[in-house]
Amino acid sequence: MASLFIASFVIFAALYLAPGNPVAALSGGRPLPPGSIRVLDQRYHLNEPFLAQYWYWLDNALHGNLGISITLRENVSTLIASRIWTTAGLVLYASVIIVVLGVGAGIASGLRPGRLDTSTLVVTAISAAIPAFVAAIGLIVVFAVKLRWFPALGNGTGFLSNIRHFTLPAVALAVASLAIVARVTRAAVREESDREHVQTAVSRGIPARHVIWRHIVRNAAIPITTITGITIASLIAVAAVVETAFSLNGLGAYLVQAAQSKDIAVVQGISLVLVTAFVVVNLLMDVLYAALDPRVTLGSQPR
């Protein structure tokens, strides 16, 4: 929990120092009369010293009030709540793709050097080199406009409709992150395959499936779990580009907008969500570590 505090402080400081002016975003391109600027500065404590501003925010946050968005003049909690399910759904969908395809490809190519392996190297390199917005545009042009298999924008209503609407964005989101998961998995599996105990097992005639599961994958599981976990946890930030490209109202896109218009309360609020997501994923990873490899004790993981 200490990391929550420190994170919020550092992010607040970063936003404070960054260039830009929250009142500017409110002006819509017309210079505001000085009286109005004064009023807005007062309302949002914009002219007060840094620590005082941080204290206002912290005090409110501890009482469950995440403050008010300067741009929308609405409660940050409400604004986050209305967007969180979109991002959560998108991230979940993309995670499934990443785990299935990424880990799957990594294991397959790690176990068999050769043509499959080179293809995986090439494909993961390509997917790492394609920016998310290019993937999005490509998917929209091909699958939404030309083939009409998927809708072009929006969330859809109802579960099945949501899945249809989220497929293209989830693929766009997963494409970029797939690469590192597949490659780290491949490296870990490769490394384990070369270990003595595996060679011994093979030479003793133990069936391949058994060898793969018990000896290789389970031992490679820690780095695989780690990279998958942190990739998924960081999807919210990567989601910003994809959400914008598909006009989905998600937290990622909103975070970037708010950061650039210095809507401090919103940035803090969303960052809290991010930090919490990391903490949760870390906990899950710790549990998995312990389950997968008892030699690595739970106690050595920090909270």
Residues 83/251, Cβ–Cβ less than 8 Å: yes
Nearer to other proteins, 98 or 184 (CB): 184
Nearer to other proteins, 194 or 209 (CB): 194
Number of residues that bind other proteins (CB under 8 A): 118
Q: Give the CA angle between residues 177, 183, 188 to the nearest 5°.
A: 130
User: What letter would DSSP give residue 152?
Assistant: S
Nearer to other proteins, 56 or 71 (CB): 71
Which of 94, 107, 111, 140 binds other proteins (CB under 8 A)? It is 140
**Smallest separation (angstroms) from other proteins to the CB of 171:** 15
- Binding pattern for the stretch 41-80 against other proteins, x by CB under 8 A and - elsewhere: --x---------------------------xxxxx--xx-
Which of 57, 102, 174, 186 binds other proteins (CB under 8 A)? It is 186
Choose one: 55-63, 94-102, 110-118, 207-215; the region binding other proteins (CB under 8 A). Answer: 110-118
**Smallest separation (angstroms) from other proteins to the CB of 116:** 9
Helices 132-139, 235-245: crossing angle, 10 deg rounding: 40
**Smallest separation (angstroms) from other proteins to the CB of 99:** 16
Beta bridge partners, 30, equal none
If you compute the radius of gyration of the chain from its CA atoms, what whole number of angstroms results? 23
Which of 94, 245, 264, 265 binds other proteins (CB under 8 A)? It is 245
Question: Cα separation of 165 and 58, whole Å?
Answer: 38
SS3 75: strand
Q: Is residue 155 part of the contact set for other proteins (CB under 8 A)?
A: yes
Side chain identity at residue 197, one-letter code: H
Residues 236/73, Cβ–Cβ less than 8 Å: no
